[in-house]
Amino acid sequence: MNKLVLATSISLVIIALGGCTNKSVVRYGDATAVETNDINFGSTDLQTVAGQMTDSLLQSPVVGTLTANTRPIMFVESIKNKTSEHIDTESITDSISTKLLRSGKFRFVDMGRVAAAREQMDFQQNSGMVDASKAVAFGKQVGAQYMLYGNLASIVKSNKDKSDVYYKFTLRLMDLQSGLVEWADETEIRKTKGKEYISW
């Protein structure tokens, strides 16, 4: 009888413990929600700088004049990461390019795909597999008129009670023919992490 009670008790404990195990749950979140996990550069910061700088560029009177009767051709140089963090600045570049293209005011050349385009054109011209009358010819592509480029820099200060990170994102638009910088702006983000002392 004691063995039966013991076996039953052990079984109940095992079932109870099994019901209390932690399970990993995956849920969709809001991609635009403010990210507050830490003070490092994150998705909210990327969306903020890309959005603010694109809006500033599109609302600039200079850009209004440049795009009044035409859609200038632009290329966006990869943003330079001058911070101590590993930041995917290509994502910033992509977000800015996409927003500008959606505005309908600019056209783009993709310098990151020049090698792939050259390889495809070489295939069309020299493989013997493409109708020569329909092959894309070399020397017909249109060059960019403007270059958009910028830097992301940071200053980090910390002690045992507080960490402070200051980010500055600078963007410039250059006329490639004249070398003149036609537009420039910058935006800043400051993030602080510290201990909170609660008084009773």
Residue 17 domain flag: no
Residue-level pLDDT at 135: 80
Strand partners, 192: 164
Give per-residue pLDDT as tens, 128-141: 888 888 888 877 77
Residue 98 domain flag: yes
Residue-level pLDDT at 147: 94
What is the residue-averaged pLDDT of the chain? 81
Residue 12 domain flag: no
Give per-residue pLDDT as tens, 138-166: 777 788 899 999 999 888 887 777 888 88
Give per-residue pLDDT as tens, 34-52: 555 666 776 777 788 888 9
Q: What number is the average pLDDT over the span 84-105?
A: 88
CATH number at residue 81: 3.40.50.10610
Residue-level pLDDT at 19: 57
**Worst-scoring range by mean pLDDT, 66-70, 126-130, 179-183?**
126-130
Residue 183 domain flag: yes
Residue 154 domain flag: yes
Residue 8 domain flag: no
Q: What does the block give as tokens for 61?
A: 């009177």
Residue-level pLDDT at 138: 79
Residue-level pLDDT at 10: 66
**pTM for the predicted model, two decimal places:** 0.70
Helix axes 89-102, 43-59, angle to 10 degrees: 40
Residue-level pLDDT at 106: 93
Number of domains in the chain: 1
Handedness of CA 71, 77, 81, 87 (dihedral sign): positive
Confidence of residue 105 (pLDDT cuts 50, 70, 90): very high
Amino acid at 58: L
Residue-level pLDDT at 87: 83
CA 129 – CA 112 distance, rounded (Å): 26
Residue-level pLDDT at 180: 95
Residue 3 domain flag: no
Domain interval for residue 89: 39-131+143-193
Give per-residue pLDDT as tens, 19-31: 555 677 666 555 5
Gyration radius of the chain's alpha carbons: 28
DSSP string, the chain: -HHHHHHHHHHHHHHHHHHT----------TTSPP-S-SS--HHHHHHHHHHHHHHHHH-HHHHHHTSSS--EEEEPPPEEESSS---HHHHHHHHHHHHHHTTS-EE--GGGHHHHHHHHHHHHHSS-S-TTTSPPTT-PPPPSEEEEEEEEEEEEE-SSEEEEEEEEEEEEEETTT--EEEEEEEEEEEEEE--PPP-
Residue 136 domain flag: no
